[in-house]
Structure 1
Amino acid sequence: MDVMPLLLLVAGSAAVAAAARRTPVPAPLLLVAAGLLISYLPGVPEYTLDPDVVLPLILPPLLHSAATDSSYLDLRAQMRPVALLSVGYVLFATFVVGWAAYRIVPGLSLTGALVLGAVVAPPDAVAATAVARRVGLPSRITTILQGESLVNDATAITAYRVALAAAVGESATWAGGIGEFLLAAVGGVAVGLVLMVPIHWLRTHLKEPLLQNTLSLLIPFVAYAAAEQFHASGVLAVVVVALFLGHRAWEVDFATRLQEDAVWKMVAFVLESSVFALIGLQLPVVLEGLGEYEGGPAVWYAIAVFLVVVLSRFVWVYPATFLPRILSARIRAREDNPTWKGPFVIAWAGMRGVVSLAIAFSIPEHLHDGEPFEGRNLILFLTFTTVIGTLVVQGVTLPPLIRMLKLPGRDQQAETLAEANAQAQASRAAERRLDELLSDERNALPPPLADRLRMVLERRRNAVWERLGQSNPLTGETVDDTYRRLSREMIGAERAVFVKLRDLRYIDDEMLRTLLRRLDLE
């Protein structure tokens, strides 16, 4: 097995993603562009996107990482718009895009067109949320986009399976399709509910951080595989488990949380970078075998499908935003009246991603009767052009669009004030607990050590308030920024001495690692 192509993919995509941080271009867009440019360079190996790798091995950890970083409470508060997008819109887009493709592309069967509709229906919000965080979208819109991306893959995969069954010659009925959808949805949620409590119990009772992090890496694959064994949605099982674990993460040992956070950031970075580079690298593969559709007709079909995909999202988003308010007095009383700007951004942030391509590549080459699957290569090409088109056109224009609409961003001052108040309440509770403990003779401490504990609380309490204070006119730093910088300088001086003592053989490497770890945790 030649591992060099894999190493080149990971190293190259990581380098491009790192370079993107120094540019105004979001990393997903730069990675796709790099993949497109590199795909035809001499000597570049052929990277074929394998659905048997992407769906069970890459998608679960990406979903797990996104779900644990999401807020269960925020998602619950936005349940209606998230459900309308992740379920309603995906089914709507499947039928609209499928019907349009059937009418536009001569020779493409209705079942084959519906397969295409299901394939391109789910937006991939990784790029959208990356842009949202960079430009500071309102938290409500970011939550809706994140929630949609967590669930819509399950809807699309189920719709694809139903459409594919009809396309390859299996007996497919409306009742059967609805039954399969319910089995996937209810079964996936049920598997997640069954797994989440015992997994969390195991995480809180394992005492070794290494074992806990090993378990953490296995969780998304276990949840996905368990659900798929029952023909349920592995996507939903992963999301349910991850949302629960993320909501209860505070109950896990602090050492595990520190390690876990670093490990999952690295995993998400490598996988996200690699899959977006893979999208661009598929160009030579999807251009093969177009046959009668090569040239001008294929370009026209690609433009037409892209426009239908983009416009259908607007057709769905605006009624889904305003109709519930018109029909329900309770919603009008409970929620602020939205303007047209928020739905416009949500509708424009419908970029497609690697899941669409992975599903497209899983389309079989032959029907059950042995005949070739008519239009398979065209469906693959149209999926690729839709993914590239939405990533490039919508991804590039989304940041200036957000700035032009002047949507109110996150109020940093209000968030810092809320953080300061929360820290003040927590510090007072900790101080009361410290007094209770010190009143017990078994916890007696010399006064200087007890004062040191109180100073830690005082420092923690003041740090947030100091960020609200005036900045240093010479450096532009707040008092807290200056304090942290000076602390790092002091720690750097200590670290240099420890290394020098190791080099002089005054201490050994084991002691050096112990001392450096103590500094790292400060």
Structure 2
Amino acid sequence: MDIFENVLLMLVAACLLLQLSRRLALPYPSLLALAGVGLGAMPWVPHINFDPHLALALFIAPALLDSAFDTSPRELRRNWMPLVSLVLVAVLLTTAVVAWAGWAFAGLPIAAAITLGAIVAPPDAVAAAAVMQQFRIPRRTLSLINGESLLNDAVALLVFGVAVSAAGAAHQPIASSLPMLLVAVPGGAVLGVLLGKIYLQLIRPLFAGTRSAIIFQFVMTFAAWILAERLHLSPIISVVAFGMKLGQYAPSLSGPRDRVQSYAVWGAVVFTLNVLAFFLMGLQARGILDRLSGPALTHALQFAAIVLALVIAVRVAWVMLYGAAMRMVKHRLGRKPKGISIPSKRIGFLVGWSGMRGLVTMATAFALPADFPGRDLIVLSAFAVVLGTLVIQGFTIGPLIKALKIDPDGSQDQEVSLARIAMMDAALSALEAEPGGEADAVRDEYRAARTIAADESQPQAQTTHDRLRATAIRAQRQALEALRESGEIEDDTYHRLEEEMDWAELNAIPADDVRLQSV
């Protein structure tokens, strides 16, 4: 019961921190990381142990699915060159540099040092995106950071799995584990796509319009992970392939109510897992600090600071080097190479500085077996990297964007305007032959919406019709509340009509206000 009560307290604290982060315009993961430190310092909070396999599946699978669902294959193809640079080169370079430091300065075995490098290598886009969206930076940059966050998780976790297996097998070189990737990676992708096809075949005839549809989504997500593990395939690649398959085809097979509920539930679940992971990391760090003392503790903290500095420096240096190399190629050719994005120095530095670590780093640290070589030092270093990047980079990325004077990107509003005009024209064409006053009223509504959509600065603003309808709905709500208070209707009737008013109001308010805020 104590654990359950403490989890509830964690969630209450997280809700309060989120309100603070919104008012201060700070990324909420940064505040959660600081809260994890504060929680770990409280002696009355119990230590919580996680089964390593459970930690990976519980924390990683839903986060991967959520990111993969929103990832556009078109954007991945469009940004393939910088993505390869960040996903492969930056992650592997960071892993190698940190592994060298672990071997040279901390005396870790090679496999354990590589494991540490793989744990701290993949950045998490949550904190960066939370800040960057406020400043409307170029969409391609934000898309690159989000795509990198998904794919580098897969690369780092593959390296992590190989290194952990090598560390657990006596005298087994890491190279001997590499051939299994030739089967595990494509096999995981095939499994994910097959499970995606099964889901798409079953979702409409069996689960459309029911709450079990959301439960089935979670079951299939964890099934993609568990089946891949049982078949000795890559569970990460399996979940990513499953999520991208669903992202492309599932929305068109679902009704609006299913989509609204599904997005809300998934957003809440992934956010809750982030909250628990940050707090659990604080508890893990407390246990490690309790076991270390004197020179051992000093050495561990010094090494953790070295790892943090290397993680930040390697990413910034590589991104700037890549940008300089691409600009040199452009200068030599006299033109930009076809299909290759060349970032400006300002954008390059922003991308390099946006390498905050988060959920994946924490979850993989949790997943280390209790008897893993150098576990305490690795987990403490991972926590230092998460905390340090989220505080140092997370608190400064907003002022950095202002200082770099990056022009706001209005291309999404232009696309929204274009699409809404086309949608309104299609609706007016469909109603053109309809007679009667009712059809005239509906046509007037669409014409008003089309006029609003033509304004690219605010293409989703409220029309006069919407404003009047919202006023009428507020009056309806007051009447409904009065009937309930007077006892003329029972609560079940009240809630049924309340839901009807909710959907009507969602249809009457500006589209930008319909979406839930991330914090």
Q: TM-score, normalised by structure 1?
A: 0.86
CA deviation after TM superposition for structure 1 residue 344, in Å = 1.5
CA deviation after TM superposition for structure 1 residue 324, in Å = 6.0
SS at match of 1:333: coil
Partners of 2:5 and 2:79 in 1: how far apart? 45
Partners of 2:420 and 2:179 in 1: how far apart? 50
SS at match of 1:480: coil
Closer, same or farther: CA 4–337 of 1 in aligned 2, 3 Å = closer
Alignment partner, residue 154 of structure 2: 154
Contact 1:32 1:278 in 2 (8 A): no
Correspondence 1:351-430 to 2 at 5 A? 351-366=356-371, 373-411=372-410, 414-430=411-427
Q: 5+ residue gaps in structure 2?
A: 505-519
CA deviation string 1:402-424 (max 9, x = no partner): 2211122322xx53343222212
CA deviation after TM superposition for structure 1 residue 21, in Å = 1.5
Contact 2:166 2:174 in 1 (8 A): no
Alignment partner, residue 494 of structure 1: 476
Correspondence 1:12-411 to 2 at 5 A? 12-48=13-49, 51-105=52-106, 107-173=107-173, 175-205=175-205, 206-248=207-249, 249-290=251-292, 293-321=295-323, 323=325, 332-335=337-340, 337-366=342-371, 373-411=372-410
CA deviation string 1:24-49 (max 9, x = no partner): 22111111112212322342333456
Letter in 1 for 2:378: I
Partners of 1:100 and 1:171 in 2: how far apart? 22
Partners of 1:48 and 1:32 in 2: how far apart? 19
CA RMSD of aligned residues (A): 2.9
Moved more, 448-457 or 218-227: 448-457
Closer, same or farther: CA 193–11 of 1 in aligned 2, 3 Å = same
Letter in 1 for 2:446: L
Letter in 1 for 2:189: V
Partners of 1:180 and 1:381 in 2: how far apart? 30
Contact 2:417 2:456 in 1 (8 A): no
Partners of 2:405 and 2:279 in 1: how far apart? 32
Letter in 1 for 2:101: A
Moved more, 319-328 or 109-118: 319-328
Partners of 1:269 and 1:284 in 2: how far apart? 23
Alignment partner, residue 494 of structure 2: 512
- Equivalent residue for 2:441, pick from 423, 447, 452: 452
Identity across the alignment (%): 32
CA deviation after TM superposition for structure 1 residue 89, in Å = 2.2
SS at match of 1:41: coil
SS at match of 2:337: helix
Partners of 2:458 and 2:413 in 1: how far apart? 11
2:453 equivalent to 1:464 = yes
Q: 5+ residue gaps in structure 1?
A: 367-372, 439-445, 471-477
Closer, same or farther: CA 71–409 of 1 in aligned 2, 3 Å = farther
Contact 2:71 2:244 in 1 (8 A): yes
Q: TM-score, normalised by structure 2?
A: 0.86
Letter in 1 for 2:137: L
Partners of 2:219 and 2:374 in 1: how far apart? 38
Contact 1:325 1:332 in 2 (8 A): no
Letter in 2 for 1:494: Q
Closer, same or farther: CA 502–360 of 1 in aligned 2, 3 Å = closer
Moved more, 210-219 or 190-199: 210-219
Partners of 2:261 and 2:169 in 1: how far apart? 50
CA deviation after TM superposition for structure 1 residue 287, in Å = 1.3
Partners of 2:400 and 2:36 in 1: how far apart? 26
CA deviation after TM superposition for structure 1 residue 223, in Å = 1.8
Closer, same or farther: CA 10–142 of 1 in aligned 2, 3 Å = same
